[in-house]
Amino acid sequence: MQARVLVSMVKDKRGCYISSYPLGLLIKGARLRNWEGMYDVLIENSTISEISPEIKNSDSDIIEARGRILMPSFTDMHFHLDSALTQGLFSGNKSGTLLEGIEIWSQLKRRLTTEDIFNRASRAVKFIVSNGTTRLRTHADVSDPELRTLKALKLVKEEFKDIIDIQITAFPQDGIFTNKNNSELLEKAVEEGADNIGIIPHNEFTREDGIRSIDFAFDLAKKYGRNIDGHVDETDDEQSRFLEVLAAKTIREGYQGKVAAGHVTAMHSYGGSYMQKIIGMLKLGRITIVANPLVNIHLQGRYDSYPKRRGIARIKQLLAEGINVTLGHDCIMDPWYPMGKGDMLQALFMAVHLEQMTGIDEIKKSFDLITSNPAIALGVSSSYGIQKGRLADLVLLDAKDEVEALAKLLPPLLVIKSGRIVARRNELITSILHKSREEELPKDIIETP
Ligand SMILES: [Zn+2]
């Protein structure tokens, strides 16, 4: 079959280029995640209309996948768009601790305008989408009386809604009861449109305040019909046990499936019998665990001598127990994390190393953490995935399978959202100059059979 055009480009009313495929978009010769063999995938309007070993539809615009892997696009379940890319505005987190990060941010956020936050978050969103993510949950710090971060992130959500679905969690960074205004600000943020309610019980002054903050968040969640999306037990202190409080509350309030607990790094240090009790409660509450491997391997264990704890949620054990586990990138170049480019493959790469999920089958399965598992948490499983009739939210990676994708860590060739190409990459060519000869490196690390 002759490719008519790769992707036809037309201009919209403002003179901007948009991709347009009135006759459909046909991806030819792709490997599909969890499918055997190679397939053609036809996308019409916003959905996958056909999957077959060969589709003859010469009218469609054609993408030649040449044996590369096509999979559902990624979801980042925990991110801070408001602080993203602020590195350079402060002198650096010298101790590398969470607490120094919070202290730097508490000074820095007073200086940021809504416009500043909007501009940086917009740049971050473009990197995030270009790396294959089309769904994102971001926290908005709502400790500022003017709610500038929430205002900015609402604008970002609207501005980029054609390329990424963003949910905003109202996040009480400094605690709900550490200042008399914080609880009111949290409620105001929900009234002004935040999608989820955040908590940070381990940052409250006392254990009692931490418990009270969870009760308060549930009162708001019930009043406004929202879900809970918390920072929970982000510490190496194994006495930090708010996950059990959150799980108990979830079960008692009938909030099963509506609660996500982010970080939960204290869990890394729990004893075996207590962990088993927690697992039972997480199951009953159908709580989603959101691990943030890039940021927590950087922040945790900072008060340890050697051996140092990894300070990561127990992804492997929780998955084996049937708990829904997902990942977040958390931060890019901000007071908490000096690196990152918004790439969930990097987050997954770190996760499989930290949790030693590095058997070939484990690596392949680990992609659930950034695809199907977050779809469960967000309640979109029935419209997401590679299946006829499902939404065409897809990513074409420059690799033949999941293992090669994590080995190479290349940006995707194509990112498709609701049937439209929203990011694409041209060829990257690297050469080796060896014994006076230039040799172009092969595209595949492992030869495709
Ligand atoms: Zn966070």
| Nearest alpha-carbon partner for 125 in 415, 338, 399 | 415
Catalytic site residues? 234
Ordered by start, the domain boundaries in the chain are 9-67+386-431, 74-382
Please provide the average confidence, as pLDDT, over all residues in the chain. Answer: 92
- Mean per-residue pLDDT, 356-378: 98
The tokens for 21 are 């495929």
Q: Can you give the pLDDT at residue 5?
A: 39
Q: Can you give the pLDDT at residue 430?
A: 83
- Mean per-residue pLDDT, 265-293: 98
* Distance from residue 446's CA to the centre of ligand 1 (Å): 36
- Cα–Cα distances (Å) from 265 to 232, 262, 435, in that order, read 8, 9, 50
* Distance from residue 184's CA to the centre of ligand 1 (Å): 21
CATH fold of 9-67+386-431, please?
A: Urease, subunit C; domain 1 (2.30.40)
What is the CATH number assigned to the segment(s) 74-382?
Answer: 3.20.20.140
**pLDDT over 70 at 18, yes or no:** no
* Distance from residue 8's CA to the centre of ligand 1 (Å): 40
* Distance from residue 69's CA to the centre of ligand 1 (Å): 31
**pLDDT over 60 at 17, yes or no:** no
- Mean per-residue pLDDT, 15-21: 52
212-240 pLDDT tens trace: 999 999 999 999 999 999 999 999 999 99
| Cβ contacts of 252 within 8 Å, gap of 6 or more | none
More confident residue, 16 or 306: 306
Strand 420-424 versus strand 414-417 pairing type: antiparallel
* Amino acid making up residue 374: P
* Distance from residue 329's CA to the centre of ligand 1 (Å): 9
Provide the CB-side half-sphere exposure for 353 (13 A, CA): 12
377-435 pLDDT tens trace: 999 999 999 999 999 999 999 999 999 999 999 999 999 999 999 999 887 788 889 88
| Nearest alpha-carbon partner for 419 in 391, 395, 385, 384 | 391
